[in-house]
């Protein structure tokens, strides 16, 4: 079984979500929970970007022992030196250094030729490798990069000492088949590619971040980057909990798994949502309020007979404790009577039928029927006897 490493960037790309600004205590709390969740690599921040980021990366690096901690650096020696100061006490100091490789970024942002970019990338990977035992190199905007140039620069940074090569879809532009073609091209044209972990880093501008990450795994990526709840720059990053569950549920297809402690997912998601102030959509996969809720009568009846009829993931697997049956106008008699029994009321058939009609009238006026609503119906019925 292939192990897929999970690289969590909730504290770096995730914190780049508009409106999110975490303080030191909040970042420490998130880092500790990510460690409990079993994340392999925690990107704790961008140490050269501010004093606050430097301090939080340094403190996270000193307290986290079971995950590797990394920090981001631009391709300048100053950023690498500052990152080293922040990370040198960590269990396995790891640097994440990047440079843009697409024509549009090189020409308009960096104002460098491709050869200059290649030379800088190689110099910085060599410089960082003198300090850090693990250097990850990222080709920013890789998915809009000329493939022969991408292959040339990847070969050169591996020779320079990079241990992980990341192929980001920085602008969330690629589609799954195209992303696989990029990985396949690199595997065919980079002679030393077998020496590194290949990583995927997908943004969700077209809603394809998780699909693209899964496609990358099929094409040989052994590391997936993303955030919890899919938060991040613009439309966000790939949601790691979705990637982990897709691998878990479809192990038959992917023949790969992560080291994630799945029952910690819900708690992690809740903590991050609370501290970032980014609410989770009710229909969000895995962690949304409705992710395990069944409303239609046919579905409720099936789930009560055997949860596997409509559930591919059990709520308990990901740490969700909730009654999966939501009573509403689509609910059937079976779900209604089951809930009444759970509330302590075992009714005669005729009594249950009368109450069921009243319940249906109420459900026509009110979306979700709560336990309090049911209690009120039963009490009304008993009073009017």
Which residues are documented as binding site for Mn(2+)? 13, 201, 203, 237
Nearest to 326 by CA among 283, 272, 359, 371: 371
CB of 49 to ligand KIV, least distance (A): 12
* Residue (of 233, 223, 218) closest to 166 by Cα position: 223
Closer Cβ to Zn ion, 14 or 315, answer by number: 14
8 A C-beta contact, residue 272 and residue 10: yes
Q: Which is nearer to ligand KIV, 165 or 363 (CB)?
A: 165
What distance in Å separates the CA atoms of residue 232 and residue 333, rounded to the nearest whole number?
44
Two tokens at 40?
A: 């392999």
Could you give the string, one character per residue 187-226, with x where binding to ligand KIV holds by CB under 6 A and - elsewhere? Answer: --------------x-x-----------------------
CB of 106 to ligand KIV, least distance (A): 14
Residues within window 318-357 making contact with ligand KIV, judged by CB under 6 A:
none
Q: Which does 138 bind (CB under 5 to 8 A by kind): ligand KIV, Zn ion, none?
A: ligand KIV
> Minimal distance in Å, beta carbon 204 to Zn ion?
10
* Residue 4, CA atoms < 13 Å, CB-side half-sphere: 30
DSSP codes joined into one string, 60-76: HHHH--SSEEEEEEESS
Q: How far is the CB of 119 from ligand KIV (least distance, A)?
A: 20
User: Of the two residues 173 and 254, which places its CB atom closer to ligand KIV in the complex?
Assistant: 173
Q: Does 98 bind ligand KIV (CB under 6 A)?
A: yes
170 binds ligand KIV (CB under 6 A): yes
Secondary structure of residue 59 in the 3-state scheme: helix
Which DSSP string corresponds to 120-166? HHHHHHHHHHTT-SEEEEEEETGGGS-HHHHHHHHHHHHHHT-SEEE
Task: Note whether 47 binds ligand KIV by CB under 6 A.
Answer: no
Count of CB atoms within 10 A of residue 92's CB?
15
Residue 8 in the binding site for Zn ion (CB under 5 A) = no
User: What would the two tokens of residue 237 be?
Assistant: 């990053």
Whose tokens are 């020779």? That residue is: 159
CB of 76 to Zn ion, least distance (A): 19
Q: Is 225 in the site for Zn ion (CB under 5 A)?
A: no
Q: How buried is 47 (Cβ within 10 angstroms: 0-12 exposed, 13-18 middle, 19+ buried)?
A: buried
Contact 232, 17 (CB under 8 A): yes
Looking up tokens 């090189």, which residue turns up?
106
CB of 261 to ligand KIV, least distance (A): 26
* CB nearer to Zn ion: pick between 13 and 155: 13
**Using the rule CB under 6 A, is 10 a contact of ligand KIV?**
no
From residue 142, alpha-carbon distances to 81, 114, 138, 173, 215 in Å are: 25, 13, 8, 10, 16
Which of 161, 168, 315, 319 contacts ligand KIV by CB under 6 A?
Answer: 168
CA dihedral 361, 362, 368, 371 (to 10 degrees): -120
Taking a C-beta distance cutoff of 8 angstroms, is the pair 137, 164 a contact?
yes
Q: Of the listed pieces 29-37, 55-63, 166-174, 275-283, which binds ligand KIV according to CB under 6 A?
A: 166-174
The piece of 8-16, 86-94, 100-108, 243-251 that touches Zn ion (CB under 5 A) is: 8-16
Can you say how many angstroms the Cα of residue 98 is from the centroid of all Cα atoms in its chain?
Answer: 21
13 near Zn ion, rule: CB under 5 A? yes
Residue 27 binds: one of Zn ion, ligand KIV, none (C-beta under 5 to 8 A by kind): none
Q: Scan residues 125-164 and list those touching ligand KIV (CB under 6 A).
A: 138, 140
Contact positions toward Zn ion, by CB under 5 A? Answer: 13
Contact positions toward ligand KIV, by CB under 6 A? Answer: 13, 72, 98, 138, 140, 166, 168, 170, 201, 203
């Amino acid at each position: 079984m292939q192990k897929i490493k999970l690289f969590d960037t909730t504290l770096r790309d995730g914190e780049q979500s508009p409106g999110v600004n975490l303080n030191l205590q909040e970042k420490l709390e998130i880092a500790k929970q990510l460690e409990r969740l079993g994340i392999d690599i925690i990107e704790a921040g961008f140490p050269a970007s501010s004093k606050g980021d430097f301090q939080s990366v340094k403190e996270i690096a000193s307290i986290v022992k079971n995950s590797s901690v990394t920090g981001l650096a631009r391709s300048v020696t100053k950023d690498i030196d500052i990152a080293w100061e922040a990370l040198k006490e960590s269990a396995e100091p790891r640097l994440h250094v990047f440079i843009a490789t697409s024509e549009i970024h090189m020409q308009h942002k960096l104002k460098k030729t491709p050869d200059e970019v290649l030379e800088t990338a190689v110099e910085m990977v060599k410089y960082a490798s003198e300090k850090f035992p693990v250097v990850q190199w990222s080709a920013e905007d890789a998915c809009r990069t000329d493939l022969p140039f991408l292959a040339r620069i990847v070969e050169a940074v591996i020779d320079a000492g990079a241990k992980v090569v990341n192929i980001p879809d920085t602008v969330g532009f690629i589609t799954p088949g195209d992303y696989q073609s990029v990985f396949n091209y690199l595997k065919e044209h980079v002679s030393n590619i077998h020496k590194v972990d290949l990583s995927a880093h997908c943004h969700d501008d077209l809603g394809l971040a998780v699909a693209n990450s899964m496609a990358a795994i099929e094409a040989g990526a052994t590391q997936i980057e993303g955030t919890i709840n899919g938060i991040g720059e613009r439309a966000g990053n790939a949601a790691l909990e979705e990637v982990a569950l897709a691998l878990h549920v479809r192990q038959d297809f992917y023949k790969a798994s992560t080291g994630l402690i799945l029952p910690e997912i819900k708690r992690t998601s809740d903590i991050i949502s609370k501290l970032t102030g980014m609410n989770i959509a009710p229909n969000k996969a895995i962690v949304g309020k409705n992710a395990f809720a069944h409303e239609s009568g046919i579905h409720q009846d099936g789930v009560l007979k055997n949860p596997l009829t409509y559930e591919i993931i059990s709520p308990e697997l990901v740490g969700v404790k909730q009654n999966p049956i939501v009573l509403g106008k689509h609910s059937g008699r079976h779900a209604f009577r089951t809930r009444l029994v759970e509330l302590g009321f075992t009714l005669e058939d005729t009594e249950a039928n009368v109450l069921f009609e009243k319940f249906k009238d109420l459900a026509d006026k009110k979306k979700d029927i709560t336990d309090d609503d049911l209690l009120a119906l039963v009490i009304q019925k008993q009073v009017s006897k």
